[in-house]
Amino acid sequence: MIEFDAVGFGALNIDRLFNVNEIAKEDEESHIHNLKTYCGGSAANTIIGLARLRLQTGFIGKVGSDEEGKLLLNDFKREKVDTKEVAIAKDGRSGSVIGFVDGQGRRALYVDPGVNDSITLQRTTLEYCENTRLLHLSSFVGDQSFQSQKKLIKKIPKHVKVSFDPGMLYARRGLSALRPFIRRSFAVLPNKAELKLLTGEEYEIGADKLISEGVKIVGVKMGKRGCYVTNGKIKHKVVPFKVKVIDTTGAGDAWNAGFIYGLLTNRTLINCGRLGNLIASRCISRRGARTGLPQISDLQQQGELLE
């Protein structure tokens, strides 16, 4: 019996965002107006998006035995994401991000990967992955967890589809380092800049290049221009939903949730792209990466897309 529709494997972070009057440079001083704390991590945001759409979900990751770790685990539990494969490290800190945002929305971010970068593959991890229809991967800063992901995808059975959002961190490693991921991926979901970095080509040719490496579907996120989706034969540019943009944090992760939801419910490729744009548009209408992610019941007016 397959237990999960989708399992995520990626970093888990507590994001602390300070609103400041100015981002201080060396030897300068600035002041803080406000502090907001969010649970984050790319694959984690995507999995929570899928859980709100009532799919059965789980997560592979690692937190520390600290308050931040508790927050991250409780957030998953509240969203009904299974946490059996989230390891709790005895030593080390949970991953965190400290960010400074000024009045114009400019940001300076400092990432502390903490225990995210020391994930090792357990026997139970492989068993966990045999019980999902789809495994969604996002990036880590360090090498050990990258290697663990690589080992895992070599071992998981054929019936498990893999979706992969390389982000800037992995795109920078280049195509040959990522080939084991690309070859095993059913869907690769970069943004335009990451695809360019990865393939050296603009998005249409870049996507074809990934298809020629064995990927079945490429979904390219293009910010306010929406997205481009292709399986090598069908190619669609999909226009975005018009919304008032409040905060684009996590837009790409939300897009992944909509797109993967489409894949798992057997929609046409263009409708998968529309669903990605739809969930992303809800995300960017609210502050924070997860706040705007809709429940199924919030999407009733999108009837034809969800039939």
Ligand X SMILES: Nc1ncnc2c1ncn2[C@@H]1O[C@H](COP(=O)(O)OP(=O)(O)OP(=O)(O)O)[C@@H](O)[C@H]1O
Give the residue, chosen from 43, 55, 222, 229, that forms a contact with ligand X under the rule CB under 6 A: 222
Answer whether 183's CB lies under 8 Å from 211's CB.
no
89 or 207: CB nearest ligand X: 207
Question: Nearest 5°: phi and psi at 3?
Answer: -85, -40
Candidate segments 19-27, 82-90, 175-183, 245-253, binder of ligand X by CB under 6 A:
245-253
Amino acid at 296: I
Mark residues 247-266: x for contact with Mg ion by CB under 5 A, - for none: -----x--------------
The one segment of 106-114, 150-158, 196-204, 242-250 that binds ligand X by CB under 6 A:
242-250
- What the block records as the tokens of 126 is 């492989």
> Under the criterion CB under 6 A, does residue 36 sit at the interface with ligand X?
no
The verdict on 219 binding ligand X (CB under 6 A) reads: no
Residue 119 or 289 having the CB closest to ligand X: 289
Which CA distances in Å does 287 have to 96, 103, 247, 249, 292? 19, 14, 5, 8, 8
Name the strands in the sheet holding 4-9, side by side, starting at the edge strand that comes first in the sequence: 81-89, 57-64, 4-9, 132-137, 161-164, 187-188, 217-221, 227-230, 235-238
CA terminus-to-terminus distance, the chain: 26
Contact assessment for residue 192 and residue 221, using Cβ atoms and an 8 Å cutoff: yes
Output 88 or 111, the one with its CB closest to ligand X.
Answer: 111
Tell me how many residues contact Mg ion (CB under 5 A): 1
Cα 54 from Cα 51, distance rounded (Å)? 5
Among 57, 83, 163, 281, binds ligand X (CB under 6 A): 281
| Residue 191 makes contact with ligand X by CB under 6 A | yes
By C-beta, is 80 or 106 nearer to ligand X? 106
Q: Name the minimum Å distance from CB 96 to Mg ion.
A: 19
Does 223 help bind ligand X (rule: CB under 6 A)? Answer: yes
Q: Which is nearer to Mg ion, 100 or 255 (CB)?
A: 255
Contact with ligand X (CB under 6 A) among 13, 253, 261, 271: 253
Determine the Cα–Cα distance for residues 227 and 273; give it in Å rounded to an integer.
7
State the minimum distance, in angstroms, from the CB of residue 191 to Mg ion. Answer: 5
Of 48-56, 153-161, 262-270, 275-283: span binding ligand X (CB under 6 A): 275-283
User: By CB under 6 A, is residue 187 in contact with ligand X?
Assistant: no
117 binds, among Mg ion, ligand X, none (CB under 5 to 8 A by kind): none
245 binds, among ligand X, Mg ion, none (CB under 5 to 8 A by kind): ligand X
Q: Specify the residue, 93 or 136, whose C-beta has the smaller distance to Mg ion.
A: 136
How far apart are CB 243 and ligand X at their closest, in Å?
Answer: 6
Query: Footprint of Mg ion on this chain (CB under 5 A)?
Result: 252
The residues that touch ligand X, with contacts defined as CB under 6 A, are 191, 221-224, 226-227, 240-241, 243, 245, 248, 250-253, 255, 277, 280-281, 284
